Amino acid sequence: MSSRLEPIFDQRTVLCDGAMGTSLYARGVFINRCYDELNLSQPDLVRSVHEEYLQAGAEIIETNTFGANALRLQRHGLADKVAEINQAGVRVARKAVHQHADKQAAKAYVAGSVGPLGVHLEPLGKTGLDEARAIFAEQIRALAAGGPGVGADLLIIETMPALNEAEQAVLAAREAAPELPVVVMVTVDEDGNCLDGASAETAASRISSWGVDGIGCNCSVGPATVLTAIERMAAATDLPLMAMPNAGMPRSVEGRNIYLCSPEYMASFARKFIKAGVQFVGGCCGTTPQHIRAMKSALRAVGAQTASHGGGTKEPIVTETPPAPIEERSRIGRLIHQGEFVTMVEIVPPKGIDCSKELKGAHELAGSGIHAINVPDSPRASARMSAQSLCIQIQQKTGIETVLHYTCRDRNVLSIQSDLLGASSIGLKNILCLTGDPPKLGNYPDATAVYDVDAIGLVNIVRRLNHGLDIGGNPIGASTGFTIAVAANPGVPDVDYEVRRFAWKVEAGAEYAITQPVFDLRILEAFLKRIESFRIPVVAGIWPLTSLRNAEFMKNDLRVSIPDEILLRMQRASTPELARAEGIRIAQEMLSAARTMVQGAQVSAPFGRFSAAVEVLADVLPSTSAAAQPKPATPARPEEEANLAQL
C-alpha cells in the first residue's frame, strides 16, 4: 500500500521527538497551566524545547498543540482561541526547524499534533460524532493554514483511546487538510488492546481502511507494551508504522510522577522497533532530549551495522579494551563461573564515622570462610557512611572481597560514571545495581532524588564502562572490569512486571542476581521457573528473624512475603533468646531447601549479629571454619535494618 510518507522516511527509520509536556514541566511550568497557550504567551520557551529535540537528532517535531481543541481549551476559558493557538504552535515549531537547518544543514519536518478530545463520544458520552468531527476539523484547519512550508508538513493524530474517535479525527483531516499526510496512533492497555477493547490487529485493519498514510501506537504503559502492539499491528497492515512510547510507567516520587526508563533502555527498544519494521520512532510522556539522543545513537549503530554486514539489529560495542572473562574479574566471578555455591553476608555502614565494629565483624566473617561482604548503599534512604568507603576499608584491612550496592537515587549520570571509575581504580570489583529507595521512606523525606536512570540504565552504564566506553561511546582507556549484579524480588504483588524488568536487566548486561529475603520457597520456585528462558545465576537472600516484631515489621512495613506459619513459630518463642534461635532455624531451613535451586546465599546480620549469619551458613561453609564460629561482633543497633532497595 503506497503512502505519502515515503518521501520522508525513504526506506529508513526516522527519529521523532519526545515529550513536550515533560520538558515544559521541568522548566517550571505548573501542571495546572494550559500548555498549549504557551505558544502565545511564552513562544521562546516552547521553541527552546523544540530546539533541544532537534539538537538531539529528531527529524520530526510535533507542535505544542496536543490539547488545542475547543473542548480542552474551554476548561481554561480559551475556546475562542483554537485557530490562534494552533497557528502559533506551527509558527514556533517552524522557526525552530528553520534555525536548525541554517546551523546544521539538516532537514526536519513539522507534524501537527492532534490529541483526543478528553470526552466520551456517543453512545457512551454526550458528544456526538458529527460534533467531534467539527471540533477536530477546526483544529486541523488551523494547523494546515498557510499551505506547504508555512503550515504543518503532516498530521499526527495521537493517543486515541477509541477507534470511533480516531475515525472522526481522520474524517476531519480529509475535510480540512486533504493535502497533508496523516498518521493515526492509538494508546493501548497492558494487554496491548485499545482502551475501547479493540485488539491491535483490529485497530490496524480498520485504520488502514480509512485511507491514512501511517499507523502506530504511542503513550501507553511503556516501550515493551508498545512493541507488542506494534508487532501485532504489523501483521494486519502494510502501512508505515510509528512507535512513540512513554518512558515506562510513572512512579510517584515526592508527589511527582517520575518516568524511570533510562535513555539506554529506550535506545534498546529503538533497535527492537526497527527490527519489528517501524519507520518512525520517538517518545511520549517522560521522554526527554537525553532519551532521543540515545535513540539516535542506536539508530546510527543499526544503520552502520546493516551497511557493513547486510542486516542485524544488535548494537555492537566497539572497543580496544574489552572486559576480561568474568572468572578473571573477581573472586565472586570465578566462583559463579565454576558453579560453586557463593556465600555472602551483609554489613550495613554505620551512621557515624567509626566503623571499627563493622571491620571487626568483617574480619571474623572472613575467618569463617565467607566469600564476600555485601555493603548496602544508604538502605531505607538513611544517611550513613558511604558504602564505597566501607567497602574499600573492609578489603584493605581484612582481605575479604566486597560487593558494593550502588543506587541511582542520589546521582546523575555524570556522578555515576565518576563514582564507578573511582571505585574501579581503588580495587572494587563487584557492583550490585539498584534503583534505590525514594527519600520519602527515610529520615529526610524532603531530600531531593535524582533518578537520572534506573537499575536497568545503570547496568547499561556499567557494561559500557566494562568495555572501556563512557555513556557517549567515548573511549576511557582500560576496562573497569566489574562483575555486574542486579536485585530480584520474587515476592512482589506484580510479579509479571518484576519478571519483565528482570529480563531487561539481563538483556542490559546483568551477570548474576541477588534476591530480597526469601521466606516462602513456593514463591522463589515460581519466580525461578518464570525466568528460565533468561536465567542467570541467582543468589538467594536469607534473613534470620530476631523476634515476632521483626517478622511483623518485614511483612507489614516492608511488604516481604512471610507465610503465617513462620509468624506463628516466632510467636511461640517465649523469650528473646528462643526467638533468635527460632529465627536462625527458619533461615537454615530456607537455605537447605533453596540450596539446589540457587547458586548462592546472601545472609543478613540483624542488629550486627554476625555470628547468627555464620550459624545460618554453617552447613555450606568450609568444615575447618565451622567449629570456630565467631562470637557476636557488635551489640544490637536500636533500629531494625533492612536493605530492601527499590528494584
DSSP for 212-239 reads -SEEEEEETT-HHHHHHHHHHHHTT--S
pLDDT per position as a tens digit, 273-323: 998 999 999 999 999 999 999 899 888 766 544 433 333 333 445 545 778
Give the span between the Cα atoms of 531 and 514, in whole angstroms. 14
List Cβ<8 Å contacts ≥24 apart for 324-329: 324/479, 324/481, 326/483, 326/511, 329/429, 329/481, 329/482, 329/483
Phi-psi label, residue 331: left if phi above 0, alpha if psi -120 to 50, beta otherwise: alpha
435 confidence band (pLDDT: 50, 70, 90): confident
Ordered by where they begin, the domains of the chain are: 6-309 (3.20.20.330), 341-545+598-626 (3.20.20.220)
Measured CA distances, 176 to 91, 139, 162, 169, 173 (Å): 19, 9, 21, 10, 5
Residue among 558, 582, 576, 571 nearest 636 (CA): 576
Q: Give the contacts of 261 (CB within 8 A, at least 6 positions apart).
A: 222, 223, 246, 247, 248, 286, 291, 454, 456, 457
Residue 646 carries which DSSP code? -
Residue among 82, 159, 161 nearest 120 (CA): 161
- As a whole number of Å, the CA-based R_g of the chain is 28
Residue 162 carries which DSSP code? -
Residue among 335, 247, 326 nearest 291 (CA): 247
Q: Strand, helix or coil at 526?
A: helix
Measured CA distances, 386 to 220, 263, 393, 401, 427 (Å): 38, 27, 11, 17, 16
Q: Give the contacts of 76 (CB within 8 A, at least 6 positions apart).
A: 34, 37
Phi-psi label, residue 177: left if phi above 0, alpha if psi -120 to 50, beta otherwise: beta
Exposure string for 76-104, b = 16+ CB within 10 A, e = fewer? eebeebbeebbbbbbbbbbbbbeebeeee
Q: Would you say residue 107 has pLDDT above 50?
A: yes
State what percent of residues in the chain have pLDDT above 90: 64
257 confidence band (pLDDT: 50, 70, 90): low
Q: Residue 332 in contact with residue 403, Cβ under 8 Å?
A: yes
Give the span between the Cα atoms of 502 and 495, in whole angstroms. 10
Could you tell me the pTM of the whole model?
0.54
Set of cell numbers at residue 437: 529507595
pLDDT per position as a tens digit, 149-189: 899 999 999 999 999 999 999 999 999 999 999 999 999 98
Give the span between the Cα atoms of 567 and 552, in whole angstroms. 8
264 confidence band (pLDDT: 50, 70, 90): confident
Set of cell numbers at residue 299: 539508530
Give the up-direction half-sphere exposure of residue 397: CA atoms within 13 A in the CB hemisphere: 17
Set of cell numbers at residue 235: 501483521
pLDDT at 317: 55
628 confidence band (pLDDT: 50, 70, 90): very low
634 confidence band (pLDDT: 50, 70, 90): very low
Identify the bridge partners of residue 217 per DSSP, sorted by sequence position: 186, 243
Phi/psi of residue 522, nearest 5 degrees: -65, -40
